Amino acid sequence: MTTSTSYSFKENVVASARVKWLILKTAMEERLVYRGDFAFATLVRFLPIVTQIFLWNAIFADDTDLVLNGYSYANMVAYYLLVMIARAFSSMPGLANGIALSVRDGSVRKYLIQPVDMLDYLFWHRIAHKLVYYAVAIGPFCLVFWLCRDYLPGWPEPKVTIACICSLFMAFLIGFLIESLIGLISFWFLEVSSLIFVYMMMNYFLSGHMIPLEWISEWIPWVNYLPFKYLAYFPAAILLGRIPPDTLVVELTIQASWIVVLLAANRMAFHYGVRRYGAFGG
Amino acid sequence: MPAIVVENLGRTYQVYRKREGLLASLRGLFHREYREVQAVKDVSFTIEEGEMLAFLGPNGAGKTTTLKLLSGLIVPTSGTATVLGHVPWKREDAYRRRFSLVTGQKEQLWWDLPAQESFRLHKEIYRISTEDYHSRLTELTELLDVTELMGQPVRELSLGERMRMELIAALLHRPDVLFLDEPTIGLDVISQRKVQQFLRKYQKEQGITVILTSHYMKDVEALCDRAIVINKGAVIHDGALAEIVDRFSQHKIVELHFASDSTPHGIDRYGVVLEDRPPMLRLQVEKQKVSAVLSQVLAEYSIEDISVSERPLEDVIAELFSAEGG
């Protein structure tokens, strides 16, 4: 019988990086299996933005100089295009449902019996999904942006660009952590589809996906204290110059703090959830 | 040195008790009744390194729950257990690198990709050196006769082929302990035999500790010398497999070959006729009455050949579980 091997810190870091890389690679291969469905799903995602542009075109049609709550027609189009980019980072289709399903049907056990960290595994799996999505969607994205180039504010300063990239990356993390947290709640309730529905609704209203967040925050000021605004509104608002430069760092810090809070909540939910787990399903 | 030590292990589940009908479902929205189900109660045993042990019991007896406890999937409500010196439900990586759990379910393989992709990921997860990985993979795929199937997506494999791939995934890192939960369930006879032969050879060569649960007594008889019989969550037998028949069977089989071409009438007064194929007849006779029956039958009839045997393990187990109400 062999005895357990102990590894040095460096060995652990290298081995962990190799596992992440291979999860990423394998998940990308998996993503490309169903080519037709994947290509269709990617293209269909562009439809809502087209309908949004038409909708606002109709609203602004009678008065092209109209400025609605600080947004002209050009501002609205630019806002929706940039929100679309932010959502391409922060939306996590199927993540929470996937975790819940794996808890219900018992397939979650693979994360429990193998020497892997479930959240880490799912994270790299999701990064693979996103990378493949961006690789396919970049063409249509460029086309849409080129067609709408007159509505866009122009290239931002390097400082703003860096802030925007940071906020997009953190939007991805917040989106991932919220959905994985909802998924982990299935250790208690098994079925979380209603929770996911509520989250989708809140996300739609409170992230700035439906309308710019300034319009909502006039009625509901606490909307600014929630993590949702960092999923869509915040990265778009940075590029549109709607975040005052002196508050940019503070906002980015708050966004990073939400990541810490959500990560801690995920770790706690996993720790206690697994203790409750009954491993039903064979 | 024992590889597995289990002491008074217990696991209780709270199960929602739903009554029949829509009204009861509506009532259940406001008030729910729960009952406690003791899936495993006060189970104790030890298993030595390199031992292959069968875990027998009817459905719901607590076999799988015990394996789940030992593989750290669930936490016990009472008792303790150590496997290779580790407490399983602490789920330390050092422990998780040293055991494998194989069940009849899709477990470790990526469904839409060829199994070789999953194996490559296993190589990294379990930190197997490239040299070991290639030699083990070649050995396992040859032994299990799946070399040709390595490039085929898992979803396109038959159940038997998939199970053999699961076994490879479970064994690539050379675990010291292997938990097998119904590994041949749903497989055809050929696949069952292949898996059996493989497990026997592999266990002998590697000297790993194995716990096997199976409803197929042929699996158990082919692979294990020792068995633990569990029913309603509690251990009712722990000893040699052969002892089960000795201990729990109340009957023996007497096979008679008559000198004439027919079998006589009225022979059923000595026992239950299991098979009547003149001139051969098989009787199930109460253990204590076997010698008396033999002398009476020999005195009464002209008999060419006679033999006494134990009942098949499968029948004894079935009888035992039905008597226990399992």
The CATH architecture annotation of domain B2-10+41-246 reads: 3-Layer(aba) Sandwich (3.40)
Instruction: Kindly report the pTM of this predicted structure.
Output: 0.85
B326: confidence class by pLDDT, cuts 50, 70, 90:
very low
Can you tell me the ipTM of this complex?
0.84
pLDDT at res. B312: 81
pLDDT exceeds cutoff 60 at B325: no
pLDDT at res. B46: 95
Instruction: Compute the distance between CA of residue B144 and CA of residue B164 in angstroms, rounded to an integer.
Output: 6
Instruction: Please write the tens of the pLDDT for every residue from A144-179.
Output: 889 888 888 888 889 999 999 999 999 999 999 999
A278 touches chain B (CB under 8 A): yes
Q: Where are the domains of chain B?
A: 2-10+41-246, 250-310
| Mean pLDDT, chain B, integer | 88
Instruction: Please write the tens of the pLDDT for every residue from B268-320.
Output: 889 889 998 988 999 999 988 999 999 998 988 888 999 998 888 878 887 77
Q: Element (H or E) spanning B295, and its range?
A: helix B290-300
Q: Does domain B250-310 have CATH number 3.40.1190.20?
A: no
Instruction: Please write the tens of the pLDDT for every residue from B39-51.
Output: 898 999 999 999 9
pLDDT at res. A48: 80
Could you write out the DSSP letters of every residue in chain A?
Answer: ---PPP--HHHHHHHHHHHHHHHHHHHHHHHTTSHHHHHHHHHHTTHHHHHHHHHHHHHHSS-TT--BTTB-HHHHHHHHHHHHHHHHHH--TTHHHHHHHHHHHSTTHHHHHSSS-HHHHHHHHHHHHHHHHHHHHHHHHHHHHHHTGGGS--PPPHHHHHHHHHHHHHHHHHHHHHHHHHHHTHHHHS--HHHHHHHHHHHHHHSSSSS-HHHHHTT-GGGGGSGGGGTTHHHHHHHTT-S-HHHHHHHHHHHHHHHHHHHHHHHHHHHHHHHH------
Mean per-residue pLDDT, B238-243: 88
- Selecting from A29, A110, A277 the residue whose C-beta is nearest the C-beta of B117 gives A29
How many CB pairs lie under 8 A apart between chains A and B? 90
Specify whether the CB–CB gap between B297 and B252 falls below 8 A. no
pLDDT at res. B115: 95
Q: Which residue of A has its CA nearest to B181?
A: A282
pLDDT exceeds cutoff 70 at A3: no
Give the 3-state secondary structure of residue B186.
coil
- Selecting from B95, B125, B176 the residue whose C-beta is nearest the C-beta of A116 gives B125
Q: Do B106 and A106 touch (CB under 8 A)?
A: no
Q: Which residue of B has its CA nearest to A109?
A: B73
Q: Do A23 and B121 touch (CB under 8 A)?
A: yes
Chain B segment 210-249 residues within 8 A of A by beta carbon are none
pLDDT at res. B89: 95
Buried b (16+ CB within 10 A) or exposed e, A38-68: beeebeebeeebeebbeebeeebeeeeeeeb
Which range (A234-238, A251-255, B64-68, B192-196) has the least confidence? B192-196
Helix axes A245-276, A158-184, angle to 10 degrees: 20
pLDDT at res. B136: 93
